[in-house]
Structure 1
């Protein structure tokens, strides 16, 4: 057996890098601007250590779009490069100048985390949109000569003496014919706003001198930076005002409804983590509204909603997370799921639960006011992360049909440790009325996540059960035993109704005005709702309801004294009302209900059901 080496040809690998290095083409601009930011940061570090001359030049990054010339340029006044450095960092794919710089100066005072680049491949993203790329650079080093480098994205390149006279670097992209969208100023401005909105140095797009503005007019767009180099999350929380937090929220998400509250993350040890998480108002109280958590690395945008860093349930929030310690892969677009990331995720979860406890304990009135908006987030968090549930279970609230809120443990339960609840206040209005009249309570659980949350609570709290208000006539609304004639009344009513498959029972309800109610068995109804939720699978059969006649109701009591036709009409109408109190009627059922309503109106007016003539007083 012999050994050998795999041969890799540069002619083949560079096109692969150009095509597959990044998932989105517009990433190239972020990479080039990030390189410029690194160059300025490195120069500042060197000047601070006395290894570079200090001057009064203000750091800048300029982006120029020339549609006529079909070029896009990124220029900075950072430390620049010598010819040797260009050969080393540009022509050797995957050799990272940032990595070498950090390693060389790791023992010097300062924040090495400010250097963005990690892998040295970002520059080559330019070839995803350009046929040709040129570099003009002049190093900060004394007696350095300007350098010009150019390549068409193949293995060959040209390098020689350049013409640049000031320190820094200019990268010129000759945009290919298929990518002319990147010659539109509006497109580039949008990309800078997305990826570079909070980079630490001012970025100007097609900069113009301020004096070009006429007196009394706003300065031209090019004379104003497109980014905010000092985002709010970099300030200490104690130095931030309520107005600043709300203004930053609006600027970031274009949401003009102020957030409920926020959490300012500011951690230096054991990892570097800063950011602000906002709890937004929920516009839709029925469905969960997705949030948006932006991930940054040293103020450079990476991606939205990375669940490896931000727990999935926290993605219902809005905010920013800036963590230079995150391990990023070559594209800076996907995270490596390692132990450090898990620690960061757990820390964010802990800070969120701490904030919720703080508001609950110190601002209980506000906490209850916020509850309808934050409940979906908290419930989803409990379901997704049981450790989060253990942290917040004491501050989970249930909204009462009588108004107000009570904690899960304090909410009234019946003798069997059951909590009655309402999933739709309108459809279940008659059951709510029955409970209220008896001074009883039920929880309002009407959000789409509540069916899952109920099952989760029953799993976690083995002794606790939830029963929808229309699933059982509890002792709360029954008025003693039904009596000996209950079975006969139920049997007679079922015969009049002509529904052999319907279960009919007779009970004495405390509210005599209600002739009947329809009950649905809890487990069967839940199964049917779950089946409906997951479309594509076999639909579960509709749960068979049980009709409960009220023996205390005068109409039910009068049925045996009426003629068969009129008793059948009233029986069917009572059944209609019971169904209406539990669910919407189908088109066919509604048509029948309207027809029976018309007949009853005619009878009430003393007319015949069919002819409109006066009806006999007795049958």
Structure 2
């Protein structure tokens, strides 16, 4: 046992990125010892401010001695317990006060849960989730609130979340129209935090609300895909890639999303985007930094505008010529190369025809630009061209 008194508090953050460390002072019988408390208190506690006084802390010794001293090591465990005790007490007895201050506490709590396993286990009892309507929930409360509507066909509970409500308004509203609730996850650590929660919460996964069509975020049954031949899928891909901005990777897929759903949806894969964000937060992009941005282009084949464009393409672009036969396995490498080149020449000629149609189709440009605009990807000359085209369509 040892004696320990002190006051620790969560500072109000003006800039959540610029968090000050080393604001805890360590004293022995009111005599200053150090304000470098890393490895003396838990790492996430170095974000707190305050003072700690203990007669059991040796005076006038090196930091390395402090960090290895048995009594000092107990401080770390003790402080973690006391902070968790106090937060749990506030949650149970002064819930309104915790909710009022949660937005300012959230960064500290998340960092603690990510860096300290024991604190994480305690925090799961009092940590709060906030939805886009500004309502707060405990983990148990939120599970009960959404489990009926947001359990997918594989019995996984799906938590939808937004990071920028203004930018993602249309996606949030589409989810709400389906009867879903959307969490607000706008903290710098949330990419890591979401991964942690997926490990801690049983049969639960998180999906950002703009990571896919709302019909695909919480699949209730197996999807019925459009009936398309291989060459038609190839045409669809080339048709849309011809009018999308260069420099990115695009995965184009046709789906049946209903006549009233948008013609095109531009999204990013949940896990690729999440790992890119985590790598950036870690101080180095690693191999993600050198990779182009990757987007999923979901084309709603049941939308009347898409059907109009597709029918025009079918009428104006002649079908691809039959591909030359592949070289047999017994053929020489030279013969195999010639066969591949002959097949590619046919594809290239047809691809050029599709791209020429796409370039000249005003409606295709318009619906793609609208999707880019909604995703914040339409800038510079393409934006100016879109505005000019929109005015001309109004005449």
- With the length of structure 2 as denominator, give the TM-score of the two structures: 0.73
Q: Is the deviation greater in 531-540 or in 297-306?
A: 531-540
Give the distance between the partners of 1:406 and 1:600, measured in 2 at CA: 44
User: 1:264 corresponds to which residue?
Assistant: none
The CA distance in 2 between the partners of 1:511 and 1:402, in whole Å, is 29
SS in structure 1 opposite 2:187? coil
Residue of structure 2 in register with 1:568 after alignment: 361
Change in 2 beyond 3 A, CA 1:335/1:584: farther
- In structure 2, do the counterparts of structure 1 residues 307 and 482 end up closer, same or farther at CA, with 3 Å as the change threshold? same
Give the 3 Å change call, closer, same or farther, for CA 584–532 of structure 1 in structure 2: farther
Say which SS state the counterpart of residue 342 (structure 1) adopts.
helix
Greater RCO, CA 8 A, separation 6+: 2
Alpha-carbon distance between aligned partners in 2 of 1:517 and 1:583, rounded to the nearest angstrom = 12
Shift in Å, 1:491: 5.7
Deviation of the 1:543 alpha carbon: 4.6
Separation (CA, whole Å) in 2 of partners of 1:402 and 1:511: 29
Conservation of the 8 A alpha-carbon contact between 2:40 and 2:67: no
SS in 2 for 1:306: coil
Q: Is the 8 A contact 1:478 1:508 kept in 2?
A: no
Task: Specify the alignment match of 2:381 in structure 1.
Answer: 591
Question: Which among 507, 511, 519 is matched to residue 267 of structure 2?
Answer: 519
More helix by share: 2
Asked whether the 8 Å contact 2:257–2:301 carries over to 1, the reply is yes
- 2:389 matched to 1:389? no
Q: Distance in 2 between matches of 1:540 and 1:398?
A: 34
- Please tell me whether the aligned partners of residues 24 and 51 of structure 2 are also in contact (alpha carbons under 8 angstroms): yes
Alignment match, 1:241: none
Report the CA distance shift for 1:463/1:438 in structure 2 as closer, same or farther (over 3 A).
closer
Q: Does structure 2 conserve the Cα–Cα contact (< 8 Å) formed by 1:438 and 1:476?
A: no
Partner residue, 2:390: 600
- Give a deviation string over 1:300-345, Cα, whole Å, max 9, x none: 2232240233211112221111122113453589624222112222
Cα separation, 2, equivalents of 1:536 and 1:450? 17
Structure 2: distance between partners of 1:485 and 1:515: 17
Pair 1:303–1:330, CA change in 2 (3 A): closer
1:357 aligns with 2:92: no
Query: CA separation in 2, counterparts of 1:536 and 1:523?
Result: 15
| TM-aligned CA deviation for residue 360 of structure 1 | 0.7
**1:463-478 → structure 2 map (5 Å cutoff):** 463-473=203-213, 474-475=215-216
What secondary structure does 1:577 align onto?
helix
The answer to whether 1:421 aligns with 2:161 is yes
Pair 1:300 & 2:31 matched: yes
Cα 1:334–1:512 shift into 2, 3 Å: farther
Q: 1:565 to 1:584 in 2, by over 3 A?
A: closer
Name the structure 2 match of 1:158.
Answer: none
Which residue number corresponds to residue 577 of structure 1? 370
8 A Cα contact 1:399 1:443, kept in partner: yes
Q: Would you say 1:528 and 2:267 are equivalent positions?
A: no
Residue 300 of structure 2 corresponds to which residue in structure 1?
550
- Three-state SS of the structure 2 residue aligned to 1:420 is strand
Which protein has the larger Cα radius of gyration, Structure 1 or Structure 2? 1
Q: Are the structure 2 counterparts of residues 575 and 328 from structure 1 closer, same or farther at C-alpha, using a change threshold of 3 Å?
A: farther
Alignment pair present for 1:376 and 2:126:
no
Secondary structure (helix, strand or coil) at the match of 1:395 reads coil
Which of 242, 248, 251 is equivalent to 1:503?
A: 251
Aligned residue among 300, 309, 315 for 2:46: 315
Change (3 A) 1:569 1:305: farther
2:197 to 429, 435, 457: 457
1:545/1:336 CA distance change after superposition, 3 Å: closer
Query: How far 1:461 sits from its partner (Å)?
Result: 3.8
8 A contact 1:397–1:406 mirrored in 2: yes
Contact 1:434 1:477 in 2 (8 A): no
CA 1:582 to 1:273, structure 2 compared with 1: closer, same or farther past 3 Å?
A: same
* Native 8 Å contact 1:507 1:549 kept in 2: yes
Residue deviations 1:96-122 (CA, integer Å, cap 9, x gap): xxxxxxxxxxxxxxxxxxxxxxxxxxx
Q: 1:432 aligns with which of 172, 179, 184?
A: 172
CA deviation after TM superposition for structure 1 residue 590, in Å: 3.1
